[in-house]
Structure 1
Amino acid sequence: MRRYESYKDSGVEWLGEVPSHWNLIPNKYIFKLRKNVVGKRSSEYDLLSLSLKGVIKRDMENPEGKFPAEFDTYQEVKEGDFIFCLFDVEETPRTVGLSSYHGMITGAYTIFETNNVDKKFIYYFYLNLDSDKRLKPLYKGLRNTISKETFFSFNTFIPPLSEQQKIAQFLDDKTAKIDQAVDLAEKQIALLKEHKQILIQNSVTRGLNPDVPLKDSGVEWIGQVPEHWEILSIKRLSQVKRGASPRPIDNPKYFDNDGEYAWVRISDVTASNMYLLETTQKLSNLGKSYSVPLMPGSLFLSIAGSVGKPIITKIKVCIHDGFVYFPENKQNTKFLYYIFYSEQPYIGLGKMGTQLNLNTDTVGAIKIPIPPLCEQQKIADYLDTQTAKIDQAIALKTAHIEKLKEYKSVLINDVVTGKVRVSV
């Protein structure tokens, strides 16, 4: 794409030069504030939300997240309205949206109409600002709030209306193609993850020999298993014990950056894959004495936060009571890891994640297939190899998505700031 013939200094550090014929216009001439509270008419409106994917409709029949008891304080949103979140700007993933719907949204947001501009161009301009939080100089107070007076006095560089329309059309076309490519890659990742789960489930319940005689396990999630395998509850293999925490947990005497034992928090497990390699904190000897130490190679299971997630530690750790462990386990640790990783043992215990109800009794009662130890090792080795291939494919797709998103961000920035000239 070509550049414009001539440029001028914008006077804004991050913006640099802009095309000479673009105008500097205060927002008070672009945006008009409107707030119509829905009151007792809330049932007449669709519930809207501002998300990373823009303004979306919320399903009130199958709600996700918390809803208020009443929506009387919510405000009307018309199709073509701008929705801004002008508080907690730094922390909020997306603070601007252009609504394609007629509905209502929380009264905490700010609703604007626009005058004599192309709405999509203005949306792309502020989407670009929001992506890098470039309105940061306007924040005030502990909640990073932009006052309406400050927002109205902020200047926007915009081209003539016909050029705004060309830019908006160009970005609509280009970003739609990028979004389509991202959606395709995300679907491919979902299929790869599904394939991985099926591969693990089949391997830990059927083994690697497709011709082996089978028997009914008597357990719904397991189905049929090889005749020579056993079906045992976890408590038959080992006691199931909980970790423990020094109290109060924020007392600095329990921590030591040079301590021998790492302190495991839920966030450490959430950020890890099969193996726990490091944590952000270490316990002092005193802290360790009030917790439960585990040696490298130990398997433990989260029963809080990322509920049901298994992990094998590669380092000396101490775990709190949000985890359970298996002190007498003599089975292959990685084989057990894959059984828990499949999520199938939790069927009937609740929804995976925070709603799953696990404790030492429920975990101990879980029945699992137990092949001979030599076969457990072969299955674990096979799954190591095959899941590594799948994970590599997922990583490549994920990297591709990030590159597409980066390209989209750079494209929008270059076009709405006049660094390049579009031709439609």
Structure 2
Amino acid sequence: MKASAAMSKYETYKDSGVEWLGKIPVHWKLIRLKNAASINPSLNLKNYESNDHACFLPMEKVESSGLVDYGLQKPIKELKRGFTSFRRNDVIIAKITPCFENGKGAFLHSMPTDVGFGSTEFHVLRSFKGFSSSFLYYLSKTHFFMDVGEQLMIGSSGQKRIPTDFLVNFLFAAPSFEEQTAIAHFLDQKTAQIDAAIAIKEQQIALLKERKQIIIQQAVTRGVGFDFAQPTDSDRSLSEVEGNSVPMKDSGVEWIGEIPAHWEVSRLSIIADVIDPNPSHRNPIYHLEGFPFISTVEFKNDDDIVLDTSRRVTESTVLEQEKRCRFKEGSLVFSRKGTIGAVRILPNHMRFALLDSLCVINASDKVQYHFLYLQLQSFFVREQFHSIVRGAALPQVSIGVVRLLKILIPPRNEQAAIVIYLHEETKKVSNAIVIQQQQIEKLREYKTTLINSAVTGKIRVTPEMAIAVGSP
């Protein structure tokens, strides 16, 4: 892809007088957004019947990429009060944190109904004559729009919003309508190409994660001698693959089949303590200072817990959980609500408290905590609770269900060998995933830079360029 720095520029620039804009093409004009679009306009519904259907867009239907799921429609009579209204070709921008910072918003050019309704956490722009809605949408995706909006957010922590005044008074440089149209069309084509490249890499990551799960599943249910490259019959033992005969037995679990005969099948509660950190299920009061409060929001990548959370709690909350949970090196945390089955090794270098949707698992001497951590990630374990919650609106399992999970227990020396093997094998896959993620990040940075450069006039986009981008 051609870097924006290598693209042509306008012949003459002038100082915009606006710090975040810098120099702009000499024929572009500074304008406030209120003079380019109606902001949060009303919607006249007199030409619509109350039973007519309109698209309904909760926040989750709008992606940061600008894609919109228009599949949900409802009668207008159910939507005309209590929701934000908009028309086809309007621009919507998320106003609340973190949706605004994440870039949630869309140009509603392909909305299948003439009118729509959505979350009250959207601002709406309706362009005036002489201004391109698509250009204004890309304006809302620029660094300077996002940065200034974030600085001017108002409200309490976790509920901050960009005020209407920010949109009303926002200054930007506007080219002619023809140039706006060319820039928007150019960006439509280029960003579509970038998004397609990102989608391919995301598919590759999904396949790599699936491969990682297969490696873990095979190792924790068969042992480290299993040959992943060669299929084997279910009635052949692990060691027969390597030429050594080890007896096998039925695991008693339909989707697992046979396991080495000297392995045990145990309940989690027999080989570990499973503890509810907050049996009262009353969330503590959050503070700006204090100790990290961990939920699955802090679960990052496949194995990490990021503790730079904005939610903090007092030492009394931490002390209460420390007494109850008896945290130690190798304590595991397991999610039993929402993202069921997500598991992490808790840090032992700092103090924290846990959300009540999590439970703590302290392994006994019979099982290495690293081995238990790996087995809890396996399909063998996850299928046990997925079969219980499948189809539930809010998936959750009780502490009792977690305690009854079946766990496969090889001798400790085999556990150690499996842990070492999986550390090496999954590291290869994880490294491949990181490479794909880094490439995705570079593509996203390129996309943002391209939008910034085109919308602020740092590169010159001609109608011919817009046509050329879309040509074969």
Structures share fold, TM-score greater than 0.5: yes
Match of 2:419 in 1: 380
Of 76, 79, 93, which aligns to 1:71? 79
Structure 1 residues 284-363: aligned runs within 5 Å: 287=320, 290-303=323-336, 306-313=339-346, 315=348, 322-326=358-362, 328-342=364-378, 343-350=382-389, 355-363=394-402
State the one-letter code of the partner of 1:198: I
Note the alpha carbon deviations across 1:326-357, whole angstroms, 9 max, x for none.
Answer: 46341122221111112344332325999443
Q: Is the 8 A contact 2:250 2:258 kept in 1?
A: yes
Match of 2:68 in 1: 56
Match of 2:232 in 1: none
State the one-letter code of the partner of 2:344: I
Distance 1:362 1:243 in 2: 16
Moved more, 326-335 or 195-204: 326-335
Structure 1 residues 12-91: aligned runs within 5 Å: 12-32=18-38, 33-37=41-45, 41=50, 44-48=53-57, 49-54=61-66, 56-60=68-72, 70-73=78-81, 74=83, 77-85=86-94, 87-88=95-96
Distance 1:250 1:140 in 2: 21
3-state DSSP of counterpart to 2:50: helix
Pick closer, same or farther for the CA change 1:368–1:146 going to 2, 3 Å. Answer: closer
Moved more, 226-235 or 391-400: 226-235
- Between Structure 1 and Structure 2, how many residues are aligned? 410
Of 260, 266, 270, which aligns to 1:232? 266
Distance 1:373 1:125 in 2: 60
Distance 1:169 1:180 in 2: 17
1:102 paired to 2:112: yes
Displacement after TM superposition at 1:75 (Å)? 5.9
Match of 1:242 in 2: 276
Displacement after TM superposition at 1:381 (Å)? 1.2
Displacement after TM superposition at 1:96 (Å)? 4.2
Q: Is the 8 A contact 1:244 1:290 kept in 2?
A: no
Distance 1:153 1:319 in 2: 43
Q: Unmatched 5+ residue regions in structure 1?
A: none
Displacement after TM superposition at 1:155 (Å)? 4.3
Displacement after TM superposition at 1:29 (Å)? 4.5
Q: CA RMSD in A?
A: 4.0
Pick closer, same or farther for the CA change 1:296–1:134 going to 2, 3 Å. Answer: same
Q: Unmatched 5+ residue regions in structure 2?
A: 1-6, 227-236, 239-246, 466-472
State the one-letter code of the partner of 1:231: V
Displacement after TM superposition at 1:287 (Å)? 4.9
Distance 1:71 1:106 in 2: 8
Distance 1:215 1:69 in 2: 63
Match of 2:234 in 1: none
Displacement after TM superposition at 1:138 (Å)? 6.6
Q: Is the 8 A contact 1:217 1:225 kept in 2?
A: yes
Match of 1:114 in 2: 128
1:420 paired to 2:459: yes
Pick closer, same or farther for the CA change 1:248–1:34 going to 2, 3 Å. Answer: closer
The normalised TM-score by structure 2 is 0.73
Displacement after TM superposition at 1:56 (Å)? 1.2
The normalised TM-score by structure 1 is 0.80
Q: Is the 8 A contact 1:84 1:95 kept in 2?
A: yes
Distance 1:198 1:287 in 2: 39
Distance 1:2 1:392 in 2: 38
Distance 1:123 1:329 in 2: 59
State the one-letter code of the partner of 1:199: I
Distance 1:165 1:251 in 2: 47
Q: Is the 8 A contact 2:268 2:407 kept in 1?
A: yes
Q: Is the 8 A contact 1:275 1:314 kept in 2?
A: no
Displacement after TM superposition at 1:361 (Å)? 2.2
Pick closer, same or farther for the CA change 1:226–1:353 going to 2, 3 Å. Answer: farther
Note the alpha carbon deviations across 1:340-386, whole angstroms, 9 max, x for none.
Answer: 11234433232599944334421222112222222222111111111
